[in-house]
Amino acid sequence: MASEAFARWTARTEATLERLLPDPGSEPSRLHAAMRHATLGGGKRMRPLLVYAAGVALGTDESLLDAPAAAVELVHAYSLVHDDLPAMDDDDLRRGQPTVHVAFDEATAILAGDALQTLAFAALAASDAPAQLRIDWVGTLAGASGVAGMCGGQALDIDATGRTQELQQLQHMHALKTGALIRAAVRMGALGGGADAGTLARLDVFASALGLAFQVRDDLLDIEASSAQLGKTAGKDVAQAKSTYPALLGMEGARAKLEELATAMRDVLAPLGERGAALVALGELAVKRSH
């Protein structure tokens, strides 16, 4: 069952992160503690799960996927630390606990984000995978993290705050800010499984639909859920006058978009048959999640 695989893969991710993160008892202890605060003890681990699900669907041994699964989560954690900073979204709650700049201080939060990002690439470089695969993983994660991916999307988000975006602009922004790292997670797992160009293209389509579904659902939850349910501050999109899918499509239109994306994900994964069951389940979780 997918739930059993998810529990096993989550445990592998936690163990790898625990091993990679520096000891808070050693200097600089404050920075080390902040890195662990940002990464451990919370989060859905969606991106590591996607790495394992894609790789295992193509026959990869789970142990080969430990490094890329942890690496993509480290980049995600770094992005959240910086996203929460006063200069960005200025939030004080993340995963049900104080954000890093609140729990520590702003300078430490900046350094913790920087250190988590570089640790991700160090983990890939030091893995036991073949050299070419490590290069491919590094290139995939770097491309998704930079100006053509997550950072570029965040810049577009900052520029768009307080003004109305057209739907195409909103989708492009989130394809970079949220979708790029999700596509990278799926692709890194698939690369570990030796996927050919056709399979990679099919999984890219799935991951793009998943990234968009994740954001549409996130926008709905920002309106429908409480801060306690979300583990972060609810209602910030409206407060900051951000364009969202419910704002542009209406609540029912946004829900209809989710159903459209769910169908697209199932259809594109159909050729994988039972091997793609875990990926299908992750797509359904993104569409139906309550927090």
pLDDT at 40: 95
In this structure, the chain runs to a length of 291
pLDDT at 238: 56
Average pLDDT over all residues of the chain:
92
User: Cα angle at 74 between 73 and 75, to 5 degrees?
Assistant: 90
Determine the Cα–Cα distance for residues 15 and 224; give it in Å rounded to an integer: 34
Residues 37-50 pLDDT 10s? 999 977 899 999 99
pLDDT tops 80 at residue 192: yes
Residues 163-179 pLDDT 10s? 888 999 999 999 999 99
Determine the Cα–Cα distance for residues 103 and 113; give it in Å rounded to an integer: 14
Residues 88-123 pLDDT 10s? 989 999 988 999 999 999 999 999 999 999 999 999
116, two tokens:
């988590």
pLDDT tops 60 at residue 261: yes
pLDDT at 161: 81
To the question of pTM greater than 0.85 for the whole model, the response is yes
Residues 197-226 pLDDT 10s? 999 999 999 999 999 999 999 899 988 865
